[in-house]
Chains A and B, each alone.
Chain A
Amino acid sequence: MASTVEAPALIEPEAPESPPRRAGRRAAGLAAVAFRRTIAVVAFLAVWELAPRAQLVDPIFLPPVSEVVPALWDLAKSGQLWSNTEASLVRALSGFGLSIVLAVPLGLLIGWYRPVAELLNPLLELFRNTAAIALLPVFILVLGIGETSKIAIVLYACTWPILLNTISAVRTVDATLVKSARSLGLPAVRIFQKVILPAAVPSIFTGIRLAGGISVLVMIVAEMVGAKEGLGFLIGSAQQNFAIKDMYAGILTISALGLAFNQVLVLLERRFTRWRTDPGR
């Protein structure tokens, strides 16, 4: 922390830090960072490539990555990859988006009214700890095998982390901040808007980011259980038809999708919580 030294009275405190001087060293530093960040992935891909070639694993069940990539390319060229990705994205994003719209306001409300929170908490814990996927058959039974049940199960699974994080965010807002706002005679609504809400944003975003990961996971499972398109369907049917390379191509697509989705959410989170102290940044 650059802020432990206190400027003496009547002397202007230290000026904001000067811009970095040695651009060359900085570039070298960036290269080192890039190396550290990619080395593990590169090593993993190398193992994937070499292990089947060296017959350490059966290349029929795990073809080397150099054979999976052309399969991925073929899927992309035929348009299959895109149409399946699109179907999956629509499901995951609809469920995820709806869960945000639903769970954030609900969580704010429940968190703000303490007695409601205390009343509902045991039930919420129960729901949260019931794996959403276990309820998939129920959703299919009630809503059928179409889009509705898939979006609904994603929505359901995404709701809990957002709801619970939002509730706890509201409830753990620093009491001195609230007291400080109260000492100005602000009405409850204003305190909520100007103190509780901004203070809760980081925690709410954590819930949203968790839900983002869950949405992809649940969407895949739902598509594997019963669907005519989507990446989960692609992987499942490729496995059944013994198109092993296509199966891995589908898995790669999903991990790329998950990664990209998470990255977008992380960027959004940073954008909205720039004021936070975080030494890891």
Chain B
Amino acid sequence: MTPKISLTGVGKTFPVRGGGEFTALSGIDLDVAEGEFLVVVGPSGCGKSTLLDLIGGLTRPTTGRIAIDGAEVTGPALDRAVVFQQYALFPWRTALRNVEFGLEAKGLRRRERAEIARDHLDLVGLSGFEDRYPHELSGGMKQRVAIARSLAYDPGVLLMDEPFAALDAQTRDSLQDELLGIWAKTGKTVVFITHGIDEAVYLGGRVAVLTSRPGRVKEVADIDLGSRDAREDVRSSPEFAAHRHRVWSLLKDEVQTAQRLTVPAPRKEAIHLG
């Protein structure tokens, strides 16, 4: 069976000011199966966002090939949706109209759009907030709207770039659970980027660990935590700790390399190894 997303030998270099090139990604081989939840972790600056841009078709790879359902990606399209860390909601549109945005691109009629948008706001637990403008919503609600917007036009693939990184711990936990619920319900293929180990292990069916500069796939770890049961706290189970330790070990060297490569002050998005 062809994988939903397939990357073969993907590399990306950026021209550097004053001449020369900077290799952000190199030799990425990665297959994502239909309906899979793949998490990509890596130290800050290793090329995670670049990887997502490539799959989204927002930039073209310098080498290699990216395919969705076997067809090469040549640009962005409605078969993929991107959720950004900064929400990227249109501040002049209400929550409902934001969710409708992708449906407009699809060319649906107004009535149909509103109906689908309402259903998706409901899916993310925001019915009753249709007429709120983004500035009237909390960070968590904004990200819920952004997720609803991405799901509304029914893409097969959901690409998420550190979507919960700007949220407080409690909100993040609840959104993680909601996302898993939505994923189970909709069967989307999800590529989820994070720099948090706990988040990676909790969400991922598989966790791909990237090396620091240039980003390569160091290893893909299978995570098996059984079914998520609300009654049990998965995060405190011994299996979770074991997986967590595994990913932590894979990342440790990379983070150290990355820190040696960066200018002294650790960035806010630096990885938490605590």
Residues of A in contact with B (beta carbons under 8 Å apart): 2-10, 12-13, 15-16, 174, 176-177, 179-186, 190, 194-195, 198-199, 201, 273, 275-277
Contact = CB atoms under 8 A, between A and B. Distances in A.
24 contacts: A2-B136, A3-B141, A6-B141, A6-B170, A7-B141, A8-B174, A9-B177, A9-B178, A12-B128, A13-B141, A176-B86, A180-B84, A180-B88, A181-B101, A183-B56, A183-B76, A183-B80, A183-B81, A184-B101, A184-B153, A185-B78, A185-B105, A199-B90, A277-B91
Contact of B92 (A3, A5, A186, A199): A199
Contacts of B136: 2-3
Contacts of A190: 105
Interface string B167-210: 11011011101100000000000000000000000000000000
A177 B125 contact: no
Nearest to B56: A183
B128 A15 contact: yes
Nearest to A180: B88
B133 interface: yes
Contacts of B156: none
A172 to B, nearest CB: 14
Contacts of A179: 58, 82, 84, 88
A177 B177 contact: no
A10 B88 contact: no
Of A3, A10, A174, A276, chain B has the most CB atoms within 10 Å of the CB of: A3
Given A182-B58, A275-B93, A16 B88 contact: no
A198 B101 CA distance: 13
Contacts of B133: 275
Contacts of A194: 101, 104
B125 A8 contact: no
B104 A3 contact: no
B82 to A, nearest CB: 4
Contact of B137 (A3, A180, A186): A3
A186 to B, nearest CB: 6
Interface in B99-135: 101-102, 104-105, 125-126, 128-129, 133-135
Contacts of A181: 101
Instruction: Report whether over half of chain A's contact residues are helix, strand or loop; otherwise say mixed.
Output: loop
A52 B54 CA distance: 76
Nearest to A195: B90
Nearest to A177: B88
Contacts of A201: 92
A271 to B, nearest CB: 13
A13 B92 contact: no
Contacts of B88: 174, 176-177, 179-180
Q: What is the interface residue range for chain B against chain A?
A: 35 or more
A134 B173 CA distance: 64
Contacts of A7: 140-141
A199 B140 CA distance: 23
B70 interface: no
A8 B170 contact: yes
Given A12-B128, A13-B129, A201-B92, A184 B78 contact: yes
B9 interface: no
Nearest to B126: A13
Nearest to B132: A16
B193 to A, nearest CB: 14
B77 interface: yes
A183 B78 CA distance: 8
B138 A3 contact: yes
A181 B78 CA distance: 11
Contact of B140 (A6, A180, A185, A195): A6
A184 B102 contact: yes
B76 A276 contact: no
Contact of B168 (A2, A6, A13, A198): A6
A194 B100 CA distance: 12
A181 B81 CA distance: 10
Contacts of A277: 91, 135
B112 to A, nearest CB: 17
Contacts of A5: 138
A13 B133 CA distance: 15
A275 B168 CA distance: 25
Contact of A185 (B75, B92, B134, B178): B75
A6 B78 contact: no
Contacts of A2: 136
A56 B36 CA distance: 85
Contacts of A4: 138
A185 B76 contact: yes
B93 to A, nearest CB: 7
B214 interface: no
B45 interface: no
A193 to B, nearest CB: 11
